[in-house]
Structure 1
Amino acid sequence: MSAFSPYYDAHVRTLAAEAQVIAVSVEYRLAPEHPIPACYDDAWAALQWIETHANRDSPDPWLNENADFNRVFAGGDSAGGNISGNLASRFGSFGLRGIRVVGAFLVHPYFGGAEIDDKMWLYMCPSASGIDDFRMKPSVEDLGGIGCERMLVFVAEKDHLCGPGKVYYENLKKSVWKGMVELVENKGEEHCFHLKITTGDNVVVKKIVSFINQD
């Protein structure tokens, strides 16, 4: 879904206000017109663009003057949760010299779970090695190179992506990664229910705010 969607715009604004942070919402290219890895590359390019502001002399004065480049977080829901997990791995593989990525939060992330999801993945990513591609179903070994200090994973009880989200969490705990990870299960809730709640009572927003602002 577009970053300009009323749902996502309201959600990001609420999160930024509650956490008192600057949010950069990425309008990444979509399959099938732009097959994977376009979405991953666009998200990474956004982080690199943020990094160009670390010297306080780049295009966006708001970032130059107000951003804390030592406390950067990546996050998203559904496909965005998958992309955020991929970014966390890229931090470890490539690094970002000008900024410190502290953590990532994955809300109801898309890591497969049903036959239709596997078919969709192969359609969106014709160059994939299969349904066990590391971007779709990262293994314990794949997750060992996560490059941030902490991770927060949400799953929703009534979401068919709940099981794969828990597998991601368990594999992360089993990996050689030395960071901290927490799993939050939204009992009785469906996929991305939080987008319909645009007030400070949003339990997902509250948890992300706590995750971002903890010492």
Structure 2
Amino acid sequence: MGRVFLAGDSAGGNFSHNMLAQASRAGLLSPTTKIEGVVLVHPFFSLGELEDVVEFLSEGKMGVTHPIFHPMGDPVRMRREVECERMLVCVEKDDVLREKGTAYYEALKGSGWEGKVELLETNGGGHVFHLWDAKLEKSHEFLQVIASFINQPT
């Protein structure tokens, strides 16, 4: 298999983490079938004020501290489920999700995970700014950093 990366913006960042975690738990990854890296862009991990929504959507089976919504709550599990070589976590200074994205980065970095994790913090663009106006120089520069991360030799 060639080089495989998972990437997602906002809730897609959460999906990317959980796809990797599920593949790891299910034993789908091996030296010949692996996910090389993950890019989480302004990832949406649980916010306490959304607890009612989370409980409604999960029919009361999960709360905002469930690993699907809050993987950084259990660093040992997180380390075990992140079977990739490297990860880029992107946060935006003016984004309400910044704190959760940074907490994810810190939890993974402090978990003893053997891969390489990087934090990219942008300033002044807002949540998923690169999607709202892809013509901005700032958007282009941001996407270039992501492309560079993906294209790094292994």
TM-score by length of 2: 0.85
Using the aligned pairs only, state the percent identity: 38
2:152 alignment partner AA:
Q
Counterpart residue number, 1:101: 35
In structure 2, list runs of 5 or more residues that go unmatched.
none
Tell me: CA distance 1:128–1:207, structure 2 relative to 1, closer, same or farther (3 Å).
Answer: farther
Query: Is 1:160 equivalent to 2:96 in the alignment?
Result: yes
Q: Give distance in 2, aligned partners of 1:127 and 1:120.
A: 10
In structure 1, list runs of 5 or more residues that go unmatched.
1-68
1:130 alignment partner AA:
G
Number of residue pairs aligned between Structure 1 and Structure 2: 146
Report the Cα offset of residue 92 of structure 1. Answer: 2.4
**1:207 match: secondary structure:** helix
Tell me: CA distance 1:124–1:210, structure 2 relative to 1, closer, same or farther (3 Å).
Answer: same
Q: Give distance in 2, aligned partners of 1:126 and 1:78.
A: 23
Tell me: CA distance 1:183–1:128, structure 2 relative to 1, closer, same or farther (3 Å).
Answer: farther
Counterpart residue number, 2:119: 183
Tell me: CA distance 1:119–1:207, structure 2 relative to 1, closer, same or farther (3 Å).
Answer: farther
Query: Is 1:90 equivalent to 2:22 in the alignment?
Result: yes
2:61 alignment partner AA:
A
Aligned alpha-carbon RMSD (Å): 1.9
2:13 alignment partner AA:
G
Contact 2:90–2:120 (Cα < 8 Å) also in 1: yes
Counterpart residue number, 1:134: 67
Report the Cα offset of residue 147 of structure 1. Answer: 0.9
1:87 alignment partner AA:
M
Q: Give distance in 2, aligned partners of 1:96 and 1:76.
A: 20
Report the Cα offset of residue 186 of structure 1. Answer: 1.2
Report the Cα offset of residue 89 of structure 1. Answer: 1.7
Q: Where do 4+ consecutive residues of structure 1 move more than 6 Å?
A: none
Counterpart residue number, 2:128: 192
Q: Which one is further off, 194-203 or 151-160?
A: 194-203
Report the Cα offset of residue 198 of structure 1. Answer: 3.1
User: Rg larger in 1 or in 2?
Assistant: 1
**1:185 match: secondary structure:** strand
Q: Give distance in 2, aligned partners of 1:203 and 1:180.
A: 22
Counterpart residue number, 1:21: none
Counterpart residue number, 1:144: 79
The equivalent position to 1:203 in structure 2, one of 132, 141, 147, is: 141
Q: Give distance in 1, aligned partners of 2:19 and 2:141.
A: 25
Q: Give distance in 1, aligned partners of 2:53 and 2:60.
A: 13
Counterpart residue number, 1:124: 57
1:126 alignment partner AA:
E
